[in-house]
């Protein structure tokens, strides 16, 4: 399968039409359609953050771990931003970035994959919004809206957080939120922006990571 090129609302260029004539009986055609849906790549956007130990190493390890999943391909990595903590106990500043991934995971499967990366990097959940080795959040998934008890897409606090929106704009230019706003328009709504500083491009695409 060729790698799809991202654009807002993009789908895999190899997606097979499901509405054409077919010699399959209806049940077989439905089963084939479901199988194709499982293997079709969708674009999702994740927010990563770390504020303990070697923050850059944790971010790079998380990007590499995501890409190691057979159903996830990291497609773009934003610049790294240092940000002041929002909520929670007193703690050190975060390094944050966003990644664009092409994935064959459905939203809830992608959530489990993100949680597996957090577990691999030994994130400990003892204090809400407390210090962490890594945080991997689903910010957007294609143009989908999901409202579940354990999963909400877009991320429920995305439009309140400059540290999420600023790197997201880098990897999702032109993306439109379900409410019709562009990402820059959402960012302008919370101006002036304070406590978010670009520190560079130290975290790389997995194939470009220095040995």
Q: Residue 6's pLDDT is what?
A: 66
Q: What is the band of 15 on the pLDDT scale with cuts at 50, 70, 90?
A: very low
The fraction of the chain above a pLDDT of 70, given in percent, is 74
Highest mean pLDDT among 25-39, 117-131, 142-156: 142-156
Q: Residue 95's pLDDT is what?
A: 96
pLDDT(21) > 90: no
Distance CA 79, CA 193 (A): 17
- Considering the segment(s) 41-208 as one domain, its CATH architecture is 2-Layer Sandwich (3.30)
Give the distance, in angstroms, between the CA of residue 44 and the centroid of all CA atoms in the same chain: 5
**pLDDT tens digits, 84-98:** 887 666 778 999 999
Q: Which of 35-39, 147-151, 153-157, 187-191 has the lowest mean pLDDT?
A: 35-39
**pLDDT tens digits, 24-36:** 567 676 665 555 5
Task: Provide DSSP, 23-80.
Answer: SS-HHHHHHHHHHHHHHS-EEEEEEEEE-SSSHHHHHHHHHHHHHHSTTEEEEEE--E
In the predicted model, what is the mean pLDDT of the chain? 83
Strands (E), 51-201: 72-77, 80-83, 94-103, 135-141, 146-147, 152-153, 196-200
| Average pLDDT rounded to a whole number, residues 43-50 | 96
Q: Residue 36's pLDDT is what?
A: 55
Catalytically annotated residues: 123, 132, 135, 137
| Average pLDDT rounded to a whole number, residues 128-136 | 77
Distance CA 81, CA 141 (A): 22
């Amino acid at each position: 399968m060729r790698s799809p090129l991202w654009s807002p609302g993009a789908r895999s260029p190899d997606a097979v039409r499901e509405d054409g004539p077919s010699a399959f009986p209806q049940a077989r055609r439905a089963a084939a359609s479901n199988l194709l849906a499982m293997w079709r790549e969708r674009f999702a956007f994740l927010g990563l953050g770390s504020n303990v130990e070697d923050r850059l190493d944790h971010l790079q390890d998380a990007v590499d771990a995501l890409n190691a999943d057979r159903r996830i391909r990291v497609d773009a990595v934003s610049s790294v931003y240092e940000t002041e903590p929002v909520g929670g106990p007193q703690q050190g500043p975060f390094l944050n970035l966003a990644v664009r991934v092409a994935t064959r995971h459905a939203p809830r499967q992608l959530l489990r994959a993100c949680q597996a990366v957090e577990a691999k990097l030994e994130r400990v959940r003892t204090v809400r919004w407390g210090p962490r080795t890594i945080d991997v959040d689903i910010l957007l998934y294609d143009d989908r809206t999901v409202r579940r008890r354990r999963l909400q897409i877009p991320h429920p606090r995305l439009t309140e957080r400059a540290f999420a929106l600023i790197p997201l704009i880098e990897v999702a230019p032109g993306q439109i939120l379900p409410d019709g706003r562009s990402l820059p328009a959402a960012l302008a709504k919370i101006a002036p922006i304070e406590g978010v500083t670009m520190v560079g491009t130290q975290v790389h695409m997995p194939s470009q990571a220095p040995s």
